Every structure is written in C-alpha cells, then in structure tokens.
Amino acid sequence: MRTTHATTAAPSGDIERAIDSHPAPGGHSLRSRSQHQRRKRIVQAAAALASRGGVEAMQMRTVAERAGVALGTLYRYFPSKMDLVVAVVGEELDLLESSIERRPPGAATAASRAVDVLMRATRGLMREPELADALIRSLIMAEVQTPFGDRMTGLLLRVSADGLSIEDATEEQLDLAGSLASVWVQELLEMLRGRRTYDQIQRRIETAATRLLTGI
C-alpha cells in the first residue's frame, strides 16, 4: 500500500518568488529566464483575449488568470492595461521584423520595398481583425508613450534607404517615412471599419509611397 503525504499548496506569488530566486546548476539564477517566460505568457494571454473581445476583454484579473500568475505579479510587469496593449503591439512588431529579416523585400525601388513591408503587416494584422482593431484604436488614444510609430518609421527607413537607421537619418527622411507609416495606420483603420478593401489599401499605399519615398 502506497503511503501518501499531505502537502500544503503554496500561494502562486510564493511559488513565483521561489522560482525567481532559485539558483540554477552552475550557480546562475533562474530569475531572468523565468521573468522572460512569465512576461511572454502574460502578453500571449492578453493577445488571445483581445483577439476575441477587443481591449474590453483584456481585464487585468482575467489576463492574470489565463496566464497563470498572481494579479500582483501582473501589475509589477504592466502597471496599466495600456502598458499591456503596448506590449502586445511590440510582440506583433517583433514578428513583422523577424519576417522581414528572414525574407527581405527585393523590389528595385524604395517605394516598392516599403509597400511590400506595409502590405505584409496588413495581412498579418488582418488574420486577427478584432485584435488589430483593438490595438490600433487603443494606440491612437494612448496616454503612455508607445514605440509603434518609431518602430514602423525605423523599419521603413531600413528597407527603403539601404539600411538607414533612425539615428543616422535626416529630419526630412524621418518625416517622409513617418508620414507613410501614418498613412498606413489610417488606411488600416478604414479597412477595419469596412470602408476599404485590401486592393484599395494597396493602391493608396503605393501612391503615397511613390510620392513620399522617391529619392529618399
């Protein structure tokens, strides 16, 4: 007959603290790895909820429960819902940048390369239209600083101007790439509202890119 021993379940917060401080083999702390994994779980949980019910579905307690973390832990990583929205947007941008690195646009002109990137981003976002709508609308109304505009501007500069970085770009180049990114966001919103088709967006983005990026 097998003997069983009663155990007392530790609160989730205690477990998380124990994992963070537990030394890994070789004397290295598991803190960094466990924090990264926990943050990723939280962001994925938030994105999954938003994809079904928009930002309204991203209630902090619900996100914490879905991610399997204590509510206090969630607030340590993301003090507000908008911070969480920004993190989800960052995750989407990471995926886009990884796609561009794996398969850089090969068109001959700066405008065509920029259009390639923006239409790839459009296709990616429209796979989850509820999520895309929630994120874009929230970012427009955001009261916290978001990296969205700068990252899209930087990506457009890299693909259209032979790897040019934001730090090395002139004010005019930044304005041109930033203006194209803004046009794309507005067109994407119109598509989410049902006022544009994919083909219409592509045509309008092509026109804007040709006017803005020729000679960049």
Helix (H, G, I), strand (E, B) or coil at 3: coil
At 145-196, the pLDDT tens digits run 666 778 889 999 999 988 888 999 999 999 999 999 999 988 988 988 889 9
Q: Which CATH architecture has domain 81-213?
A: Orthogonal Bundle (1.10)
- CATH 1.10.10.60 assigned to domain 33-79? The reply is yes
pTM: 0.72
Q: Are 161 and 110 in contact (CB under 8 A)?
A: yes
Q: Per residue in 90-136, pLDDT tens?
A: 888 888 889 888 998 989 999 999 999 999 989 988 888 877 777 77
51-75: pLDDT as tens digits? 887 778 889 999 999 999 999 999 9
pLDDT of residue 143: 57
Distances 20 to 16, 33, 74 between C-alpha atoms, Å: 6, 9, 15
| pLDDT value, residue 144 | 54
CATH 1.10.357.10 domain range(s) in the chain: 81-213
Question: Highest mean pLDDT range out of 16-20, 124-128, 202-206, 212-216?
Answer: 202-206
Pairwise CA distance, residues 154 & 150, whole Å: 6
What residue spans in the chain does CATH classification 1.10.10.60 cover? 33-79
